[in-house]
Amino acid sequence: MASTPLDVLRAVFGFESFRPLQGDVVEHVVGGGDALVLMPTGGGKSLCYQVPALCRPGTAVVVSPLIALMEDQVAALRQYGVRAAALHSGLPWGEAGAVERQMRSGDLDLVYVAPERLLTDAFLGHLKHCDLALFAIDEAHCVSQWGHDFRPEYRRLTALHERFPRVPRIALTATADGPTRRDIVEHLELGDGRVFVAGFDRPNIRYRVLHKGGRGADLAGFIEAEHVGQAGIVYCATRAKATDMADRLAARGVAALPYHAGMAATERARNQDRFIRDDGVVMVATIAFGMGIDKPDVRFVAHLDLPASLEAYYQETGRAGRDGLAADAWMTYGIADVAKRHAHIEASEAPDLQKRVERQKLEALLGYCETTRCRRQVLLEYFGETLAQPCGNCDTCLEPPQSFDGTEVAQKALSCVYRTGQMFGAAHLIDVLLGGDTERVRRFRHDRLSTYGIGTELSREEWRSVFRQLVAMGLLVVDMAGHGGLRLGPDCRDVLRGERPVSLRRDPVAPKAARKAKAGARATLDDPEDEALFQVLRARRLELARAQGVPPYVIFHDSTLVAMAKERPRHRHELARLPGVGQAKLERYGDDFLAVLAAAGDP
């Protein structure tokens, strides 16, 4: 077999040259050096240890966390003519023994093994009788307690350096921020090794984040519009949701399959095999699926719930477009997702320091979701990389969101949270702000609060966006019990006092809603004076409603108030001609509203 790295690359793997950074890594490891390699999914990490394994004498031992990943890698290598095998719990005892004998006799180039098996005294003793080319630690982020997929057994891999100090080690991962990298280097004792960091940018992936219930947040519609007959991965937070969504997509004609830990192992394996082998299969899964999946033509990765962190998001979305062709990263989220993530962090048995780091990671993720900047710039900055210009291939670049001075709106939201006792979720708070007549509003007497009905200038969906953004800014905090209640954040005082301005993003209006608006009340008030009068009429309506303990709309609908603002009736008979003004209401409220109209005068 050819012995130089470039000869191996050409003769075995069929590539004429190394990608940027690959050649440097390979040369360093072939020379016996230790290394930590951070390279994006699809960037060619595997060759960074596979080529040195074929250049150095002996057998390379590759630490891999998943049986499916091992089998895929071994099958691919054997296709290249490489002598490769895997050792895992799924092998019959006799076959496992045969692999170990081949290792001792030098008849294998690479052996993949799970960390649990590798670290047994029996296997470590077995390795003493083998000629070892190198140790490769794949998915190295599993080493770090700060990483998104921490596995305690990975921490014990320092035993490799202790027992085999002359055997080079290469740790590889696609995702690791600064703390995670430092943790990997420390716990694998790679302090004398080199750290190779390739660019994290995946320019072929288009990033989109939508809000649940908002425009375009329909997974089936997204697939039907852009990815008919193409492979994709859909991530859900729960097993039940994964199964339900797979069924819904299948009913729409999508070749969708579920995958989660609650399924029988045989069914999971069958579905995964179909996903890997068939074209156009969409896997709807929990995070139990995907690590090490080498399928290059995944055209989209969708998240229906908030991922664990930006590292997890980057790793999972990186499974799309591994072939370098155009792909989509599509995500929807809401405040309930934030509550669940907070609850998950607080319920864990992790030490306080780790919980604090995880909270910071969640804040970074929320900042990414709510940004008005280029998403790719925000994502890359998290990993310590700078993109000089906006990418032009994310939703905020393609459809730039508008910002507005949201200081007063934020004050209303924060005041409502405070006056309702800092225990209710966004849905109820919005009911209060809009002056809604719900069972909970009545039960807690929130229709008597000063914040009741003060937010009618925004729609329900616009208020949802406001609350999401205030949570992302840390001005509101989701309760730790996981019920979605909101409480004031530590930095909200300056906003409430008017000492700190707040800029908010204005979410795009859904096309259908926009069409309705043109035919409805608000869009017809083009005249600023009419709009001002409309607001005064609404304020008077709210006063009357509060005095009676009724919702404002039972007095007059907005459409009636719009007609008043436009027509400006002066007498009862003129008022009586407007839509929504019956005789009883004319008698009961006519004089009140005519007084407001008279005070306003003619435009």
Across residues 33-53, what is the average pLDDT?
91
More confident call, 531 vs 452: 452
Across residues 531-543, what is the average pLDDT?
87
CA distances, 536 to each of 457, 542, 596 (Å): 12, 10, 8
Whole-angstrom distance, CA of residue 45 vs CA of residue 171: 10
Residue 353 has pLDDT above 90, yes or no: no
Whole-angstrom distance, CA of residue 143 vs CA of residue 150: 6
CB 234 within 8 A of CB 219: yes
Which fold would CATH assign to domain 5-197? Rossmann fold (3.40.50)
Of 18-32, 169-183, 411-425, 532-546, the one with minimum mean pLDDT is: 169-183
Q: What angle do CA 15, 19, 21 make, to 5 degrees?
A: 140
180 — pLDDT class (breaks 50, 70, 90): confident
Q: Express as a percent the part of the chain with pLDDT over 90.
A: 53
What pLDDT, in 10s, does the model give residues 205-246?
Answer: 999 999 887 777 899 999 999 999 888 999 999 999 999 999
CA distances, 318 to each of 175, 202, 291, 299, 300 (Å): 10, 8, 10, 11, 10
Give pLDDT, residue 182.
84
| CA neighbours closer than 13 Å in the CB half-sphere of residue 149 | 25
**Which of 84, 137, 329 lies closest to 226, judged by CA?**
329
**Which of 261, 255, 301 lies closest to 278, judged by CA?**
255
480 — pLDDT class (breaks 50, 70, 90): low
Residue 517 has pLDDT above 80, yes or no: no
pTM over 0.75: no
Residue 104 has pLDDT above 70, yes or no: yes
Q: Residue type at 603?
A: P
Please determine whether the domains at 402-514 and 520-600 fall in the same fold group of CATH.
no
Please give the sequence-ordered ranges of beta strands (E in DSSP) within 254-410, or none if there are none.
256-259, 282-285, 298-303, 327-333, 402-405
CB atoms within 10 A of CB 427: 17
**Which of 292, 276, 275, 293 lies closest to 284, judged by CA?**
275
Q: Homologous superfamily of 205-398 in CATH?
A: P-loop containing nucleotide triphosphate hydrolases (3.40.50.300)
Helix (H) or strand (E) holding 46: helix 45-55
Look up the CATH number of domain 402-514.
1.10.10.10
Whole-angstrom distance, CA of residue 368 vs CA of residue 331: 12
Whole-angstrom distance, CA of residue 549 vs CA of residue 542: 10
CB 557 within 8 A of CB 564: no
**Residue 52's Cα: distance from chain center in Å?**
36
Whole-angstrom distance, CA of residue 37 vs CA of residue 329: 24
**Which of 261, 116, 75 lies closest to 269, judged by CA?**
261
What pLDDT, in 10s, does the model give residues 425-477?
Answer: 899 999 999 999 999 999 999 999 999 999 999 999 899 999 989 988 889 98
CB 294 within 8 A of CB 44: no
Give pLDDT, residue 557.
73
Across residues 553-565, what is the average pLDDT?
79
Residue ranges of domains in the chain: 5-197, 205-398, 402-514, 520-600
CB 82 within 8 A of CB 14: no
Across residues 593-600, what is the average pLDDT?
92
**Residue 158's Cα: distance from chain center in Å?**
32
More confident call, 508 vs 498: 498
Q: Is 134 helix (H, G, I), strand (E, B) or coil?
A: strand
Across residues 77-82, what is the average pLDDT?
87
Give pLDDT, residue 408.
97
Residue 557 makes CB contacts below 8 A (sequence gap 6+) with 580
Residue 4 has pLDDT above 90, yes or no: yes
520 — pLDDT class (breaks 50, 70, 90): very low
CA torsion angle 422 428 430 434 (round to 10): -120
Residue 515 has pLDDT above 50, yes or no: no
Residue 52 makes CB contacts below 8 A (sequence gap 6+) with 5, 26, 29, 30, 60, 133, 134, 168, 170
Whole-angstrom distance, CA of residue 139 vs CA of residue 219: 30
Query: H-type helices in 171-289, by residue range?
Result: 178-187, 219-226, 239-251, 265-277
485 — pLDDT class (breaks 50, 70, 90): confident
Give pLDDT, residue 214.
77
Burial zone of 277 (CB within 10 Å; 0-12 exposed, 13-18 middle, 19+ buried)? exposed
142 — pLDDT class (breaks 50, 70, 90): confident
DSSP-assigned states of every residue in 522-584? GGG--SHHHHHHHHHHHHHHHHHHHHHT--GGGT--HHHHHHHHHH---SHHHHHTSTT--HH
Give pLDDT, residue 335.
85
CA distances, 487 to each of 253, 307, 451, 463 (Å): 44, 23, 16, 16
Across residues 390-408, what is the average pLDDT?
94
CB 495 within 8 A of CB 414: yes
**Residue 597's Cα: distance from chain center in Å?**
51
482 — pLDDT class (breaks 50, 70, 90): very low
What pLDDT, in 10s, does the model give residues 188-199?
Answer: 888 889 999 888
**Which of 599, 602, 540 lies closest to 567, judged by CA?**
602
- For tokens 């591994």, what's the residue? 322
Whole-angstrom distance, CA of residue 235 vs CA of residue 285: 5
Does 520-600 carry CATH code 1.10.150.80?
yes
Q: Which long-range contacts (CB under 8 A, 24 or more apart) does 251-257 make?
A: 252/220, 252/224, 254/220, 254/223, 254/224, 254/282, 255/280, 255/281, 255/282, 256/281, 256/282, 256/283, 256/284, 257/281, 257/282, 257/283, 257/284
More confident call, 83 vs 511: 83
